Amino acid sequence: MPSPYRAIFAAPGTRGFSAAGFIGRIPISMVGVGILTMISEITGRYAMASALTGTLALAAAAIGPQVSRLVDQYGQRRVLRPATLVSVAAVAVLLVAAAGGWPDWTLFVCAAVAGCVPSVGSMVRARWTAIYRDSPRELHTAYSFESVVDEVCFIFGPILAIGLSTTWFPEAGPLIAAACLLVGVWLLTAQRSTEPEAHPRSAQADGASALNSPGLQVLTATFVATGAIFGSIDVATLAFAEEQGAKPAASFILAIWALGSCIAGIVFGLLHLEGRTERRWVLGVCAMAVSMIPLLLAGNLPILAVALFVSGLAIAPTMITTMALIEAHVPRAKLTEGMTWISTGLAVGVALGSAVAGWVIDAAGARSGYVVSISAGAAAAAVAFAGYRRLTRPAQGEEPSSDGDGGDSGDSREEQPDRVA
C-alpha cells in the first residue's frame, strides 16, 4: 500500500473500525442485487424483482437520514445496534416469505421495514473526520481509501450475491448479506475510543435538518440521478447476461465496473490536485454521464465489460470530491446526517433506475435498459450545472464541520476566504 495510505492508519483504532466497516458495508452491494436475483430465480419476474428492490432502496432513503440524525445526537452504539436488529429481522422474514410463496404485499412490507439499515459507510467516514479534521491532506487520503473500500465491496458483493443465489439456493445472497451487516455493525460499535462525540439537540444551534444547506441539496439531487445510473446498470446487465445465456457472468461484469472505479480511487488518493473542487466535481459528474453512451453499443459481454470498466473510472474520484464538499457545507454536529443524505440520494435513484429499467427491459429487451442509464447520466449533469452557483456561495448560519475540506479544495478557500458553500 502506498505510504499516504499507510500514514492514515498510524492513529490508534483506525485499523479496527476500518475492518469492521468493510464487513458492515458488503451488504451495500449484496442486498439489492441479491433480492433481484432471488426473485428472478423464484418467479422470473424482473419488474416485480426491480419494484421490490426499489421499495427497499426508497425505504432506506426515507429512514436512513433519520437514523443518522439520531446517531449525531446520541452516538453510534446507542442507535446502530437496535436499527440493525430491526433491519436484519425484516430481511429474514422477507426470505421466508419469498421461499414460502407468501402474497406479494408481504414481501413489500418486509422490504420497507428493512429500510432502517444504517449507512455504515457514513459512520466510518465520520470516524475518519473526527480523527483528521485538522489534517486536510490525511483526510483526503482517508476519504479516498473509503471510496476504494466501497468499490472493493462492489467488486466482491455482486459476485457473492449472484453466485450464491444462482448456484446454492435463491435466498443465499440476501441471507449472507444480512449476516455481514449484523457482524460488521456489532464490531464497529464495540470500538468506543474512535466513536465521534454525540451532539445532543440542545447543544446544536438548531434542530433543522442538514439538508437545509443549499449546497447539500445540489449534491443530493445530483446523486439521485447518479443512483439511477447505478440501479439501471445493475438490472440491465443482469438481464443482458441472461439473454446471452450466461446469467452468472453478470456478477463478474459488474465487478469489472467496480474495479475501474477502485483503481481510479487509489490513484486519486495519491494526488493533491489544484483548481476549484466544485469545478472538478462537475467535470466528474459529466464524465460519468458521457461514459454511459458506449454501453448501449455493446453487442456482447466482453465489449460490455470493457465499456463498464472505462465508465467506472469516473465514479470514485467524483465520490471522493463529493465527501470533501459535504464537509465544507454541513455543520460538524450534523456531519453524519449530511453524509447519509448522499446515500439517500443514491438510494432513491437506485430505486427509480432499477424500477424503470425493469419495466423497459420487460417491454423492449435487455439492451434497452441502458437507455435509462444514459438518460440518468444526462440528468445528473444537468442538475450539477444548474446547481453549480449554490456550491460556490459562502456558507450561511452554522459553522461547517471543519476548517478543511479533506485536502481537496484548499485552493477554493484561498479564492473565497469566507468559506466555500
Identity of the amino acid at 364 = A
Alpha carbons 135 and 311: distance in angstroms, whole number: 31
Is residue 405 domain-resident? Answer: no
| Nearest Cα residue to 392 out of 286, 284, 278, 275 | 278
Alpha carbons 129 and 55: distance in angstroms, whole number: 32
Is residue 404 domain-resident? Answer: no
Is residue 226 domain-resident? Answer: yes
The model carries a pTM of 0.74
Is residue 58 domain-resident? Answer: yes
CATH code for the domain of 99: 1.20.1250.20
- Which residue shows C-alpha cell 416469505? 97
Is residue 159 domain-resident? Answer: yes
Is residue 421 domain-resident? Answer: no
Is residue 205 domain-resident? Answer: no
N-to-C CA span, the chain: 34
Q: How would you write the pLDDT of the chain (421 residues) with one tens digit per residue? A: 457 888 889 888 999 999 999 999 888 778 877 887 888 777 767 677 878 877 887 788 788 888 888 888 888 999 999 999 999 999 999 989 888 878 888 889 998 998 888 888 889 988 998 898 878 788 888 888 888 888 777 767 777 887 888 788 888 888 888 999 999 999 999 998 888 888 776 544 556 677 777 888 889 899 899 989 988 898 888 888 888 888 778 878 888 888 888 888 888 877 776 667 788 889 999 999 999 999 888 888 899 999 999 998 998 888 888 887 887 777 777 777 888 888 778 877 877 887 788 888 888 888 888 999 999 999 999 999 988 887 776 444 444 444 444 444 333 333 333 322 2
Contact of 420 with 328, CB cutoff 8 Å: yes
Is residue 1 domain-resident? Answer: no
SS3 300: coil
How many domains, the chain? 1
Alpha carbons 321 and 278: distance in angstroms, whole number: 8
Range of the domain at 310: 14-194+211-395
